[in-house]
Amino acid sequence: MEDLCFMPATEAAALIRDKKLSPVELMTAVLARIEALEPQVNAFAALDANAAMVGAKSAEAALKASDSCLGPLHGIPVTIKDLASVEGLPFQRGSHIEAGNIGGVDAPFVSRLRAAGAIVLGKTTTSEFGWKGVSHSPLTGITHNPWKRGYNAGASSAGAAAAAAAGYGPLHQGSDGAGSVRMPAHFCGIFGLKPSFGRIPNAPVANGDQSSHNGPMTRTVADSALMLQVMSGPHPLDHYSLE
């Protein structure tokens, strides 16, 4: 089962489309991995395990009914950094000021990931409002480097990087203004990309204006390319977004 947790999304998605891998089997393996390691790693600000399993069962039902309309990420788990809104999930941005806040809508790139068939596992930890270069938040505490407990997992996308390195599924979203994707990717030994300005729409605009760019954090370059392709493109809520 552990092998499924480290399977690239490119491979898992192909196996799911060919009906050689069950979305439920994949999700079960990933959730078991999270349950075993998460108290030590602390990569999640909010884990939505029940909804994720419901999503996996729905993905499996859709697969059995038809394979003609499946998205490129059908049945693939994904995490979202807690600086982006996900409808119905905590949106606390690593701060006691926002404690208890719930996202009212999906950010544009979250909607695109869902439309492509991805299943949201939950929200990953971030330093307070993303303004810190170490893996610590006053709200969620320390996110540990999965390679060695007690060591820094990086800047504000540390939860996403730690989750990727620990095998919490293949796809994780981060954001980067001054190294918040690049630092944790480096510290945790994964691949992270800060895309060009406007490549992935950013809405609503955060307190750092458009200085922070959303991007993929994965264990393989090919998985980041796939995730980037899904999230990219213009959106009416971000007039800076690129064709």
Tens of pLDDT, residue by residue over 110-127, are 999 999 999 999 999 999
- Is 175 part of the annotated catalytic residue set? no
Taking the C-alpha atoms of residue 59 and residue 62, their distance in angstroms, rounded to an integer, is 5
| pTM summary value | 0.96
Q: What percent of the chain has pLDDT over 90?
A: 88
The pLDDT score that the predictor gives to residue 67 is: 61
Which among 22, 81, 123, 224 is annotated as catalytic?
81
Catalytic hit among 95, 137, 180, 212? 180
Chain centre distance of CA 91: 14
33-81 tens-digit pLDDT: 999 999 999 999 999 999 999 999 999 999 988 766 899 999 999 999 9
Q: Could you confirm whether 68 is annotated as catalytic?
A: no
Q: Are 167 and 12 in contact (CB under 8 A)?
A: no
With a CB cutoff of 8 Å and minimum separation 6, the contacts of 210 are 197, 202, 240
Is 81 catalytic? The answer is: yes
User: Which residue type sits at 20?
Assistant: K
Residue 44 near residue 120 (C-beta atoms within 8 A)? no
What's the mean pLDDT in 134-152? 96
- Choosing from 137, 156, 157, 232, the catalytic residue is 156
